[in-house]
Amino acid sequence: MSGNVLSIADRQPEDVQRRAVAAVSLQRWREIEHARVVKKGGVPVQTDQGSDLPASLDAWYRSQPVKPGRISPRLTLTDDEKRAYGLPKSARLIALRGLGDEVDHWSVAVFPVMGGYVVGVKAPAGGGGVGVFWRLSHKASDYARRLSVEHGMLIRERYA
Protein backbone atom coordinates (compact mmCIF):
# COMPACT_ATOMS: atom_id res chain seq x y z
CA MET A 1 0.00 0.00 0.00
CA SER A 2 1.37 3.40 -0.95
CA GLY A 3 0.10 6.88 -0.36
CA ASN A 4 1.04 10.50 -0.64
CA VAL A 5 1.23 12.74 2.35
CA LEU A 6 0.14 16.27 1.47
CA SER A 7 0.97 19.18 3.72
CA ILE A 8 -1.66 21.68 4.72
CA ALA A 9 -0.05 24.26 2.41
CA ASP A 10 -0.41 21.95 -0.59
CA ARG A 11 -4.15 21.66 0.05
CA GLN A 12 -4.67 25.45 -0.09
CA PRO A 13 -5.70 27.31 -3.27
CA GLU A 14 -2.89 28.88 -5.33
CA ASP A 15 -3.70 32.48 -4.38
CA VAL A 16 -3.47 31.59 -0.67
CA GLN A 17 -0.10 29.93 -1.29
CA ARG A 18 1.12 33.02 -3.19
CA ARG A 19 0.07 35.38 -0.40
CA ALA A 20 1.77 33.15 2.18
CA VAL A 21 5.01 33.15 0.20
CA ALA A 22 4.83 36.94 -0.13
CA ALA A 23 4.22 37.37 3.61
CA VAL A 24 7.14 35.11 4.52
CA SER A 25 9.40 36.93 2.05
CA LEU A 26 8.40 40.31 3.52
CA GLN A 27 9.04 39.07 7.06
CA ARG A 28 12.48 37.74 6.08
CA TRP A 29 13.32 41.05 4.38
CA ARG A 30 12.27 42.99 7.51
CA GLU A 31 14.44 40.75 9.70
CA ILE A 32 17.45 41.20 7.40
CA GLU A 33 16.91 44.98 7.27
CA HIS A 34 16.56 45.13 11.05
CA ALA A 35 19.77 43.13 11.52
CA ARG A 36 21.58 45.41 9.05
CA VAL A 37 20.46 48.56 10.87
CA VAL A 38 21.42 47.15 14.27
CA LYS A 39 24.81 46.04 12.94
CA LYS A 40 25.44 49.43 11.30
CA GLY A 41 24.19 51.76 14.03
CA GLY A 42 23.85 49.58 17.09
CA VAL A 43 20.32 50.83 17.76
CA PRO A 44 17.22 49.27 16.21
CA VAL A 45 14.97 51.51 14.15
CA GLN A 46 11.68 52.39 15.86
CA THR A 47 8.62 51.67 13.77
CA ASP A 48 6.81 54.86 14.81
CA GLN A 49 9.62 57.31 14.00
CA GLY A 50 7.53 59.36 11.57
CA SER A 51 4.46 59.62 13.79
CA ASP A 52 5.11 63.29 14.60
CA LEU A 53 5.41 64.22 10.91
CA PRO A 54 2.56 65.94 9.05
CA ALA A 55 0.39 63.67 6.94
CA SER A 56 1.71 64.82 3.56
CA LEU A 57 4.86 66.29 2.07
CA ASP A 58 3.00 69.49 1.22
CA ALA A 59 1.84 69.84 4.84
CA TRP A 60 5.43 69.25 5.98
CA TYR A 61 6.64 72.01 3.63
CA ARG A 62 4.02 74.48 4.82
CA SER A 63 4.81 73.77 8.50
CA GLN A 64 8.52 74.61 8.08
CA PRO A 65 9.61 77.91 9.60
CA VAL A 66 11.01 80.55 7.25
CA LYS A 67 14.37 81.81 8.54
CA PRO A 68 14.88 85.59 8.68
CA GLY A 69 16.21 86.91 5.40
CA ARG A 70 14.78 84.02 3.37
CA ILE A 71 11.60 83.85 1.32
CA SER A 72 10.95 80.10 1.56
CA PRO A 73 11.52 77.30 4.08
CA ARG A 74 14.31 74.75 3.87
CA LEU A 75 14.02 72.03 1.26
CA THR A 76 15.93 69.15 2.85
CA LEU A 77 14.60 65.96 4.35
CA THR A 78 16.41 63.45 6.50
CA ASP A 79 16.55 59.83 5.36
CA ASP A 80 13.94 58.89 7.98
CA GLU A 81 11.58 61.60 6.73
CA LYS A 82 12.08 60.47 3.13
CA ARG A 83 11.27 56.90 4.13
CA ALA A 84 8.16 58.07 6.04
CA TYR A 85 6.86 59.87 2.93
CA GLY A 86 7.71 56.94 0.63
CA LEU A 87 10.51 58.71 -1.23
CA PRO A 88 13.86 57.24 -2.27
CA LYS A 89 17.00 58.32 -0.39
CA SER A 90 18.19 60.22 -3.47
CA ALA A 91 15.03 62.39 -3.66
CA ARG A 92 15.55 66.14 -4.07
CA LEU A 93 12.90 68.71 -3.22
CA ILE A 94 12.22 71.68 -5.49
CA ALA A 95 10.01 74.69 -4.80
CA LEU A 96 7.10 74.95 -7.26
CA ARG A 97 6.90 78.75 -7.02
CA GLY A 98 7.38 80.13 -10.52
CA LEU A 99 6.99 76.78 -12.29
CA GLY A 100 4.15 76.68 -14.79
CA ASP A 101 1.04 78.79 -15.09
CA GLU A 102 -0.87 79.88 -12.00
CA VAL A 103 -4.24 78.22 -11.54
CA ASP A 104 -7.23 78.95 -9.33
CA HIS A 105 -7.42 75.49 -7.73
CA TRP A 106 -5.14 72.99 -6.00
CA SER A 107 -3.71 70.36 -8.33
CA VAL A 108 -1.00 67.75 -8.73
CA ALA A 109 1.46 69.24 -11.19
CA VAL A 110 4.02 67.51 -13.43
CA PHE A 111 6.69 69.78 -14.90
CA PRO A 112 9.40 68.63 -17.31
CA VAL A 113 12.70 70.25 -16.39
CA MET A 114 16.28 69.77 -17.53
CA GLY A 115 17.17 66.12 -16.93
CA GLY A 116 13.87 64.93 -15.49
CA TYR A 117 10.50 65.86 -14.05
CA VAL A 118 9.26 67.74 -11.00
CA VAL A 119 6.05 66.38 -9.45
CA GLY A 120 4.22 68.02 -6.56
CA VAL A 121 1.08 69.64 -5.19
CA LYS A 122 0.71 73.17 -6.61
CA ALA A 123 -1.21 75.77 -4.65
CA PRO A 124 -3.50 78.31 -6.34
CA ALA A 125 -2.73 81.99 -6.96
CA GLY A 126 1.04 81.94 -6.50
CA GLY A 127 0.97 79.86 -3.33
CA GLY A 128 3.78 77.67 -4.59
CA GLY A 129 4.31 74.29 -3.03
CA VAL A 130 7.00 71.65 -3.05
CA GLY A 131 7.80 69.03 -5.64
CA VAL A 132 10.12 66.05 -5.94
CA PHE A 133 12.61 65.74 -8.79
CA TRP A 134 12.48 62.44 -10.72
CA ARG A 135 14.85 61.45 -13.52
CA LEU A 136 12.67 58.68 -14.98
CA SER A 137 9.26 59.48 -16.47
CA HIS A 138 7.55 56.31 -15.25
CA LYS A 139 8.59 57.00 -11.64
CA ALA A 140 7.37 60.60 -11.96
CA SER A 141 4.08 59.33 -13.37
CA ASP A 142 3.69 56.80 -10.54
CA TYR A 143 4.38 59.49 -7.93
CA ALA A 144 1.86 61.84 -9.60
CA ARG A 145 -0.81 59.13 -9.52
CA ARG A 146 -0.03 58.44 -5.85
CA LEU A 147 -0.37 62.16 -4.98
CA SER A 148 -3.58 62.39 -6.98
CA VAL A 149 -5.14 59.51 -5.04
CA GLU A 150 -3.83 60.68 -1.64
CA HIS A 151 -5.08 64.26 -2.05
CA GLY A 152 -8.06 63.63 -4.34
CA MET A 153 -6.83 66.13 -6.94
CA LEU A 154 -6.56 66.07 -10.70
CA ILE A 155 -3.16 65.77 -12.37
CA ARG A 156 -2.14 68.82 -14.40
CA GLU A 157 0.75 68.16 -16.76
CA ARG A 158 2.75 70.85 -18.52
CA TYR A 159 4.94 69.88 -21.44
CA ALA A 160 7.50 72.24 -22.95
pLDDT in tens, 37-63: 766 665 554 544 445 777 778 777 777
Structural domain contains residue 4:
no
Q: How many residues does the chain have?
A: 160
Residue 97 falls within a domain, yes or no?
yes
What domain range includes position 136? 49-157
pLDDT the model gives residue 50: 43
- Same domain, yes or no: 34 and 77: no
Beta strands 155-157; 92-95: pairing state: unpaired
9 — pLDDT class (breaks 50, 70, 90): low
**Same-domain pairing of 68 and 135:** yes
The reported pLDDT for the residue numbered 144 is: 86
Q: Are residues 118 and 145 in the same domain?
A: yes
Is there a single domain that holds both residue 67 and residue 84? yes
3-class DSSP state for residue 129? strand
DSSP 46: P
